[in-house]
Structure 1
């Protein structure tokens, strides 16, 4: 049995029978764990509402595992493996119909670079994605948009 209070756990993936989703998700959300929950999210609207309200109250990410909404048209991956066979660092380029996403990760370095999300009209900079304290949105200038 997983200890929901463990400081070693940041997030959980719930793939148990649907009838267990609500109680398990609420338990983990109350303990400050982000939750990715398989479909169906809940067995009824009351359970779903309780799960979402708990996530909001505890400021946790809670989402249903809907692969089709996040599936890129193409994926290019680059990976550096350690001699132990463990992935050390890498990057992904994800291409969608109307955008491209770039993800970089590392288990062997501690970058101080912020995370950046670029949109059509501006850019969102998040100071530290694992423990965000500040997010700043900067709209692109009108001159940039006309170019």
Structure 2
């Protein structure tokens, strides 16, 4: 049984804890937070057996076999390094770190020490992505891909009121690109590999980070456009266009309904069977990695997606 310690008491940690309850071979361990009262309340809410007053204490506890890091983006790298150096397997919430170079350094460090390091990118392990891959040959040669994740954050109201909040705080690595844009970018890499080049534009908000943006990626024989936003909503699906048909996707982060429309013929609806909690797949993959599964390809995809984020962040806010 892998006893998983949790760093962070946000809603994403709660969803991860719920997913752990659905995966055989993994159990909740201690909850770590500098705020011991908050840690105790959170541990009680998710059914964790205990707490620790911070990451160092969690890593030193004898009853924790692995850790899940859901702390602010800006501290992921140092926390991953501490866990890896302690010989503790790490599942780190997306984005894993702030730059591709940081990720490559940490992956090298983990491999040298024989420690598992995996990004908690749920899209990579979602049955909806497998369903997309299975259907793609039916639409012929791919010519255009349009992936999007646009969802207005309730915390944007705080920004509009003149306040700062973690997910929009550039000092903590907050941005719409890092929070939501990584989903379509990762799906793009997962399905088609890394593009030859990518160009994009980001719209700045009062928090001094991007609130939304768009990018165009160039592949051999087709182009892909990617859109992300935390300040607007959309009713538009994602789509893949081939010479023999098109495939629309209800949500690229966790596809549940696909519509295949052939060039000549009737549309076909494909409903994807999947766990209610979309984080189950990443927990299963992490469990398997701890038990010896090779995650080299997983780590490489994370690095490729982070490189795309790096390139998009090079352009100034508009």
Q: Does the pair score TM above 0.5?
A: yes
C-alpha change, 1:121 and 1:105, in structure 2 (3 Å) is same
Residue 89 of structure 1: how far off its partner (Å): 0.7
Larger strand fraction of residues: 1
Relative contact order (C-alpha < 8 Å, sep 6+): which is higher? 2
* Structure 2 residues not aligned, in runs of 5+: 17-69, 71-91, 97-102, 131-185, 266-318
- Give 1:17-96 correspondences, 5 Å limit: 17-18=110-111, 19-21=114-116, 25=118, 34=122, 55=125, 59=127, 70-96=193-219
Counterpart in the other structure of 1:145: none
Counterpart in the other structure of 2:162: none
Three-state SS of the structure 2 residue aligned to 1:113 is: coil
* Cα deviation code 1:11-42 (max 9, x no counterpart): 54485413222xx55xx87xxx6287xxxxxx
Q: Distance in 2 between matches of 1:137 and 1:111?
A: 21
Residue 110 of structure 1: how far off its partner (Å): 1.7
Q: Distance in 2 between matches of 1:92 and 1:116?
A: 15
- Aligned residues: CA RMSD: 4.0
Q: What TM-score do the two structures reach when normalised by structure 1?
A: 0.56
Q: Distance in 1 between matches of 2:262 and 2:93?
A: 32
C-alpha change, 1:106 and 1:90, in structure 2 (3 Å) is same
* Structure 1 residues not aligned, in runs of 5+: 37-54, 143-147
Q: Judge conservation of contact 1:115–1:127 (CA < 8 Å) in 2.
A: yes
Q: Please tell me whether Structure 1 or Structure 2 has the larger radius of gyration of its CA atoms.
A: 2
* Cα deviation code 1:66-111 (max 9, x no counterpart): 89x7332332212101121111111101112211001111111121
Q: Distance in 1 between matches of 2:242 and 2:7?
A: 39
